[in-house]
Amino acid sequence: MGQTARTTKLLLDLSEREQGGANRAKRCYLEETVAVLDAARRFYLDFFLTHPDKLMERVEVISKKTGEVTLALVSADKLLTWAEFQTVATDAHPDPLPEWNFTSTFPDFPNRYRRSVIKDCIGKARGYLTTLSTWQWSGKKKGKPGTPTAANHPTLYAGTYALELDTLDLCKSFVRLKVYTGEQWQWVHYPTRYSRYFEQRRAEPGWEQESPKLILSKHTAALHFLQTKTITAQKVVESKRDPDLVTVAVDLNIKQLAVITVRQHGKIIQTRFVTDHGLDSHRYRHLRRSARKQWQSGKPVKGERSNQQLWHHIRRQNRDVAHKTARVIVEACEQYPGCVLLFERLRVIKQARGSKSRRLNRKQANQLKGKINQLAKEKAYASGVVSVEVNPHGTSQYCGRCGCKGVRFTYQAGQRVAGKGGKLFFCPVCHYECHADFNASCNVHHSFFHEVHWQPRLQKSG
């Protein structure tokens, strides 16, 4: 049993008014809301840090199962009630602590927001006190933990937001948010960039909704919807005993981003090559151009970022390709329920040689490999497939059929030319010939089952 989480973003439409976006004042309300919530957080953070004894108080807790009495930290709910009693004026309790009067400092502050702020602060303040006491206990001079900051993305609990999704007309969907206008709190409608993909993900069975967060950045605003799912998957040790087990092995490369082979009963039953569609050389051309521009304009200025747009483009492309490749891998796994996904443990890559643009490009390619690996694992786990990392020793050098050391080569004018960068693989012992990445992918299965013991190249005897 495990749990996995994902977020789905719903962008608020902040484009120009004529293009259907929210007006300027509404945009300012969002900033005001974040600012006032940060101020409230600052208030409660100070409040809790001046009462550290209450925050770290240990109370007697009676276990429901055994009836034993143990000491435990006071629960967050009890602290919340205590903090509200000390700071908030109500009809039954009209005068809170005079120096900590929240009601007079923040008039008409909505209850829901206040509670979310207090809960947030309890976590922040407790975390700080714990690390502080660990640091004091360690006796080190360096590394004193800094006081926690009040800034955080506001969590929207029920009662502070409402989605109004018009099912008939997807273009006209709004989200209603309780925002601070600078003078008062009021409900405001915001147009959203709602899409059917969002609806599909939101309504997908098995995923549980959590409270969304409002993420406000320089130019955009979005609601991030968190979803969690409970996963039941068999342990790998148990699946390994199953004689009908299907294994899906992935070899990650640069030109062939992923070579996926599916094996059952010792036979490869499906193969899939995922190419990069020229991404590698495309990226290389960009990097070469940026290097030339830099050479023409002189040394880079320290602390100043250059070619931002280009790097943004490269990163976005990498991210997109990584998601798509991971999706293909997971789709291959979903055809065989109960299968195990195999990866090579990623190696520590030596720095590439050659020009600066070539080195940068290799670095990007290796990062892409890591990204595909990570995303495929996450996506596979969400559909109940467990992944295993196997020992990468020798997977690309030895023959997948007989286990002898082979050579890489390419065909040039019908002739075999052996070389390190060759796309094809040839075994001099059993004369097996195939795509080098396919051979590596097959070897990943062998490595998982510990089947083949690699043999050194056989010496030619006279």
Site for Zn ion, rule CB under 5 A: 399, 401-402, 404, 427, 429-430, 432
| Closest approach of Zn ion to the CB of residue 429, in Å | 5
Q: Are 12 and 175 in contact (CB under 8 A)?
A: yes
Q: Are 335 and 383 in contact (CB under 8 A)?
A: no
Whichever of 381 and 425 has its CB closer to Zn ion, that residue is: 425
CA 401/CA 386 separation, integer angstroms: 27
Angle (CA) 271 399 404, round 5°: 165
| Closest approach of Zn ion to the CB of residue 347, in Å | 24
Whichever of 39 and 458 has its CB closer to Zn ion, that residue is: 458
CA 176/CA 250 separation, integer angstroms: 45
| Closest approach of Zn ion to the CB of residue 263, in Å | 18
| Closest approach of Zn ion to the CB of residue 399, in Å | 3
| Closest approach of Zn ion to the CB of residue 402, in Å | 3
Token pair in block for residue 336: 């065989």
Q: Are 83 and 54 in contact (CB under 8 A)?
A: no
Whichever of 273 and 432 has its CB closer to Zn ion, that residue is: 432
Whichever of 425 and 448 has its CB closer to Zn ion, that residue is: 425
Q: Could you report how far apart the first and last alpha carbons of the chain are, in Å?
A: 60
| Closest approach of Zn ion to the CB of residue 431, in Å | 7
Angle (CA) 5 223 209, round 5°: 40
CA nearest 167: which of 190, 205, 198? 198
Whichever of 412 and 459 has its CB closer to Zn ion, that residue is: 459
Residue type present at position 153: H
CA 329/CA 314 separation, integer angstroms: 23
Whichever of 324 and 457 has its CB closer to Zn ion, that residue is: 457
Whichever of 310 and 402 has its CB closer to Zn ion, that residue is: 402
Token pair in block for residue 13: 């439409």
Whichever of 357 and 443 has its CB closer to Zn ion, that residue is: 443
| Closest approach of Zn ion to the CB of residue 427, in Å | 3
CA 329/CA 212 separation, integer angstroms: 30
Angle (CA) 158 162 165, round 5°: 140
| Closest approach of Zn ion to the CB of residue 454, in Å | 11
Burial class (CB in 10 A: 0-12, 13-18, 19+), 262: buried
